[in-house]
Every structure is written in C-alpha cells, then in structure tokens.
Chains A and B, each alone.
Chain A
Amino acid sequence: MDIAITSRQMNPFDTMLDKLCLTPAGLFGLILLFALPYIPPFNQEYMLRWLIYCAFIGAMSVGFDFTAGFISIVNFGYAAVAGFGGYTSALLVINFGLSPWIGMAAGGITAGIMGLVIGMISLRLRGIFAACLSWFFGLAVMGLTTKMVWLTRGPMGLRTPRLFEADSNVPFYFLIIVLLFLIYLTCKWVVRSKMGLAFQAIGQNMDAARTSGVNPTYYRVFNFTMSCTIAGILGGFYAHFYGILTPDVMHTSKTVEVLAVAYIGGRGSLWGGAVVAFPFIFIMEIIRSSFSNLPGLNLVIYALVLILVMIYYPGGFAYFYDTIIRKPKNKVLRYLLNGRD
C-alpha cells in the first residue's frame, strides 16, 4: 500500500501520476494499450475482439478483487451480477428505446442495488458461507433469467443494439480501456483512503476490527455495492458490444474465469488482474483458435496455471513484481518502476 506523500519537492508530473495511481511504467503501459490498435499484428478486427475480451475480464477482475482481496469475501455470483446488469440494460434499450449509454448506467445502478441486497443478507456470514450465499444467489438469478422466456427470450438469447454504429471494433476497444482505467482508479482511490484501511481490517479479522471501532456493516455493504455496480456497468458493455446476450454470461464458469485472472494477478493488488489479463487471456485465445481440433486445451492450461499459482505462488504476479522486479539497483529504472517516493 503506497500512501500519497505530499512533499514539496514533487514536480507536477509526479503529482499527476500519483493522483492517477500510476507508476511511469504503468503510464507507459496505458499509452501502449491506447496505441495497440494501430500496431500491425493487433490491428486486425479479430485480434481487437480478443483484446476487448482481455480488457473486459481484466476490468471484471479489478472489481472482483475489490471484494475478494480487501474484505476477503469471494463473490461467487459475480458473473451473475454482471449478467443482471447486462440484461437490465439490454431490456431497457430494447423495450423503451433508451440509448445504450443510459442503459449501461441503469445496469450499473440495478446491479449496485443487487450488490446492496447481497451485502445485507450476507452480513452474518463469513468466508465460505458468504461465498456460498452469493453463489446460490447467482444460480437463482441465472435460473430466473433462463426461465423468464417472455422477458429475456431465455437460452435463445437477446439481440441487443450495439453502443457504436460503426462496424469497426476500435471505438469499443478505446471505451473498454477507458472503463478499465476508470474502474482501477476509482477502486484505488477508495482503497487509498481511510476506507481501504477499514476494509483490510475487516478482511483480516472482523472481531478485532469491530473491537477497534470499525463498523463492519457499513463497510461490507459499501464494498459489495460498489463492486457490483462495476460488474453491472461492465455487463452493460458486454451486452452492447457482442450484440447478443444469453444466460450463459451468468454462468459460474465466467466467475471462475474472472477469479482465476484476479488470483493469478495477485490478490489485493487491484492492478495485478488488469495487467495479467492481457497476456494471459490473449494467449488462451491463441491456443483456443490454433488448436481448434483439441477443444478444452486452453481451459486445461488455464486450470493448471490457477492450481500451480494457488499452491506454489499464492501472491501471484503482483507479489512477484513487488519482490523481484521492483527493486533494481539502477536509479532510472527504479524511478520508472516505482515513481517518485
């Protein structure tokens, strides 16, 4: 946890970086992501589709990590919450002719309300029980979506209008990168504030936190609401990007996908999942498309990586980065990787 140091000798550039919660290397990465659609192998439409999916999963994993990494509750119905937001948005747009942008916002709000409900009813539960509750909640929502055919057309899927008229995927790509960054920034700001400390206190030892005057009710519900709002907005993006929405988006396997990226990236780091999602999901997509005669191979590798990371390197990529890459002798490199501190 890097706490903002408002010392006098910081120049405006460093102050800005600090406000944006980026290191110079992070800024470089962000610029690279914005330039990626114009760099040759990635400027093809199908590659862009993959990259959008990478960024989507990365953004989901940031929102997921906001709950799992800080208050230590694994929201196992996260994909269902995102799907709920997506369906709300899609139905509003289709039935009332709203703009998809308003739909996305509405999806975020309704998913946030759902998060509020899950947060409230899971208050008495901890650890595995809370995970189970959110899981069953997700299953129930997915079952409802599948069965309410008159509204959602069930497994046949809902055709949704896309956010941009253009056929090209480039505007979607820029939008999801902006979303990813904004989500990261919001979460990081909250975590940097006094609230983040309270989250960690609750996550590590709830009774001790309560004894020292931290009110778990407020913080847990707030955390759930915020992370589910993020999921809802992303669900809206998903609905209006792919143009088709089926209940499969709520399936537990989607949550597992997000969970794997968040844990491989490093629990409690927020940025880890976002960074790891790009190479990881991208390589998985390459394996999936180049070994199409071996269906499931990418997921086997996926699961193996998750298992190996969980057993042998539970800190994930963020821990690896913090302990090994982050401390070079060279002063310039050190500045690039850490920013001014």
Chain B
Amino acid sequence: MNGQKVWTSSAHVARRALLVTRTDPDVPKHQGMTYFALDMTAPGVEVRPLRQITGEAEFNEVFLSDVRIPDADRIGAVGEGWQVSTATLMNERVAIGGTAAPREGGMIGTVARTWREHPELRTPGLHDRMLRHWADAEVARLAGARLRQQLAAGHPGPEGSAAKLVFARLNQEISEFEVELGGADGLRYGDWTMRRPTGADFFGRDPGYRMLRAKGNSIEGGTSEILRNIIAERVLGLPPEIRVDKDVPWKDLPR
C-alpha cells in the first residue's frame, strides 16, 4: 500500500488505523475499494505532526510507503470498502454532533456564563444575538435528543448528518460571538506552544482558542458541503447532484 492521509487523529498514539484503499482501478470509484485495520507499527508507516492555527499539532499526516497488510486485517469483502467506510462515517457523525448535553452545555454554556458574570459587556445588539444563539443551541440540543431516541431503535442513518452540520455551524457562530463579546480581551491568546495532545478539546481554554478550533468543525467528520448533499438527497429525497464520474472506471477519471 502506498499513499498519504492528511488529517489522521491520534495516529501518534494509535496501534491501529482504519484504512480505506483503492484495490481495483478498473471499476467506478465507489467500487474497487477495500477496508483494513492497518497496523501502525508496520514498516513503511510514517506519522508526522501537523501544527494547526491553534498552535497545537492535535492530529497528524500519515505516509504509507510500500506497506504490506495481511489479509487477516481486512474488514469486509474485497471491493466492499465503500460500504464498510459508510458504516464508519455514519457512526462518526453521530458521535460528533449527536452527543447529549445539558441545557447550556457546550459552546453556548461558556458564552452564557460570560454573559451572566459580566453585565458591563452587554449592549442591546449583543443581547439580541446572545438570545438568538441560545435559542438555536437549545433547538439543536433537543433535536439531538430526539435523534438519539430514534437511534435507540436502530443504527445511525443519514439523519445524523444534520446534527453534525448544525453542531459545526453553531460552534463557529457562537465562538466568534464570544470573541466579539470580550472586546479587546477577546484578542488575547493564552498559549501558542506546540503540543501533541491525544484528543480534541472543542470547549476548553480561552475564547480565542475555541474560535480557532471551531473552524475545523465544518471539515472534520464530513464537511458541511458533503453533509448538505447527504441531507438533500438521502433525508429530503431531493434530485441528486449531477455526477459525471459515477459510472466511469476510476483509472479513466481526469486528474
């Protein structure tokens, strides 16, 4: 196996990685893929830290050079990798956007606290925005609770994509609002030391960190653009986007 993956969380601590590979270039792109649990200690696996705008290298890029993978580590049938990875991604979206939180949990909680503790920051315009963010966050929270009730009866479906999409949008809006609320203080940044944490912390540290980290929310776990397509086509049943490459053998795609 040869290739590279840019955003690989926990690669610096993981013993195994989930790997989707192109194993048959002669069929259209959704076919001809095969899924493995890659041994990260195998010869040819190289993990490099990627320093982000937050200062941390929370995730990595991974390079695979002539890595040999035993068939025992294959998950699912040869050529079935797309279906297998879809199961993984559906679970991912629910894990990111569908977590239970108390009222005023998550990003809205930190802003609400600042709002309550610092009346001197309030203006009528900010008050209006604060309440709109609060209501949006509460709607998302309750919708997530309903999604989990549906989940209790089955496996994650495309509906989880909506929870994840809204999670990203609200995190970005609310964390930006918090920086603005802080005025000049909002420009302070606590610590830009290069570190390699073992997990992601969306709601920790200071407003500046939270605002910068939230930028990743609309990329990680399915970009917001992809999620909107999924919602349109698989939840709402709208006509699919034209895909000229869907039936073309992967090896014939222009690149």
A and B associate in one complex: no
Interface residues of A (CB under 8 A from B): none
